[in-house]
Amino acid sequence: MVDPAIREIDGGVVFTAKVVPGSSRTCLSGLLDGMVKVKVSAAPEKGKANRCLIAFLAKHLGVKKNAVTIVSGTGSGVKQVRVAGVTSEVLSRELGLDGLA
């Protein structure tokens, strides 16, 4: 398995997420080719899956929703996500990525 590509920038981190909408529940599903794979229960319509992803990440990382931003890929399954106020170590620990790589 490939280590997730997490970059620290301007008081936060940016990473690539593979989002699978329409799942039975919202959960972290490990790593896929260096991307953090997240299954979301929301449908991929009118930004519902993006909002679900933001809420999920904010809750698990202990930050406000406005600290999580989709930098690119809003209409795609592969997204660049920025989280302000956390380090790569915190992101890996809180999402349980340490033992997956």
* Mean pLDDT over each residue of the chain, to the nearest integer: 91
Q: How many domains are there within the chain?
A: 1
pTM of the model: 0.91
pLDDT in tens, 28-56: 998 888 899 999 999 999 999 999 999 99
Whether 60 is covered by a domain: the verdict is yes
Residue 57, domain extent: 6-94
pLDDT in tens, 65-84: 999 999 999 999 999 999 99
- CATH number of the domain where residue 65 is located: 3.30.1200.10
Residue 97 · residue 16 · CB < 8 Å: no
Structure tokens at 53: 């992803």
Distance CA 41, CA 26 (A): 5
Whether 99 is covered by a domain: the verdict is no
Is the CA virtual torsion 48, 45, 82, 95 positive or negative? positive
Whether 76 is covered by a domain: the verdict is yes
